[in-house]
Amino acid sequence: MSEIFSTYISTLLSYEFIYFDLDDTLLDHKSAEAAGLKDIHAHFDFFDEVSAEKLINVYHQVNSRQWSLYSQAKVSREELQRNRFELTLKELGLNSARYEEVGNQYMQFYRNHWQWIDRAKEAFYKIVEKYPVGILTNGFAETQRKKFEAFDLYHSAETTVISEEVGVLKPHPDVFNHATELAGVDSDNILYVGDSFGSDVIGGTKFGWNVAWFTENGEPEKHEKAHFVFNDFIKLKNLLKV
Ligand SMILES: [Mg+2]
């Protein structure tokens, strides 16, 4: 859908509640993750045998595979937390017995690099002035709650939904159902702003939400699934007239 046309369509709809995804929508998780991995690479001497880039690449592969298994309930949260570092170390030919200290140290470094996505903060606060907003996120509850606190989101968001606390991950409809009930409006009056095609665009639209997809993806057949596609928060502000 072209941007002009989807803007036109969107003006015909009335959004009564705006939900935001957290990681890589409001907050720059990807950069914080890469910076945290570079920090552990520098912190532990045994990583000298491999480059930081290699560590980041292997971790990404292992971590996304583990998250996929976790979302299918094939590994527990504890297994996911263990496996992502144990298997990364193993794959790199390093001592995998050190997975726990590496994992703990990573979480500390990762937190130091949390920051807003470009222009998301200003857009978010403008939107908060005009609409009720909520946060709907996958991820570990403990970590996500720390982000809510660090970025003062409990104060500005009327609802915060962490899928781990619902018991299933996005795109499972139970997560969207729970978030809709908390918002107290009909599904078709909700706009969801998110970056993931599978979790946010497909998950949200299947449940009857409108989805604004934050992406650099250029595939038109995927764009058609979303109600609005944007790559700069200025465009979202224009859509919502804030
Ligand atoms: Mg995301």
Q: Given this model, what pLDDT does residue 14 score?
A: 84
Report the CATH number at residue 199: 3.40.50.1000
Between the CA of 84 and the centroid of ligand 1 the distance, in Å, is 19
Report the CATH number at residue 101: 1.10.150.240
Instruction: Judge whether 200 and 180 are in contact, CB under 8 Å.
Output: no
Instruction: Judge whether 99 and 66 are in contact, CB under 8 Å.
Output: no
Give yes or no: residues 159 and 224 share one domain: yes
Between the CA of 3 and the centroid of ligand 1 the distance, in Å, is 21
Between the CA of 71 and the centroid of ligand 1 the distance, in Å, is 14
Give yes or no: residues 202 and 87 share one domain: no
Give yes or no: residues 97 and 189 share one domain: no
Single out the residue of 53, 176, 8, 28 nearest to residue 110, CA to CA.
28
Helices (H), 76-119: 77-91, 99-112
pTM (2 d.p.): 0.92
**Rounded mean pLDDT of 136-162?**
96
Q: Each residue of 31-81: pLDDT tens digit?
A: 999 999 999 999 999 999 999 999 999 999 999 999 999 988 899 999 999
Structural domain span for residue 101 = 30-111
d(CA 157, CA 49): 45
Between the CA of 45 and the centroid of ligand 1 the distance, in Å, is 32
Instruction: Judge whether 130 and 240 are in contact, CB under 8 Å.
Output: yes
Single out the residue of 153, 156, 100, 164 nearest to residue 132, CA to CA.
156
d(CA 153, CA 144): 11
Give yes or no: residues 136 and 104 share one domain: no
- Number of structural domains (the chain) is 2
Give yes or no: residues 34 and 99 share one domain: yes
Instruction: Judge whether 105 and 43 are in contact, CB under 8 Å.
Output: yes
Give yes or no: residues 157 and 172 share one domain: yes
Last residue of a domain, one of 95, 111, 127: 111
Between the CA of 175 and the centroid of ligand 1 the distance, in Å, is 15
Give yes or no: residues 123 and 232 share one domain: yes
Give yes or no: residues 191 and 71 share one domain: no
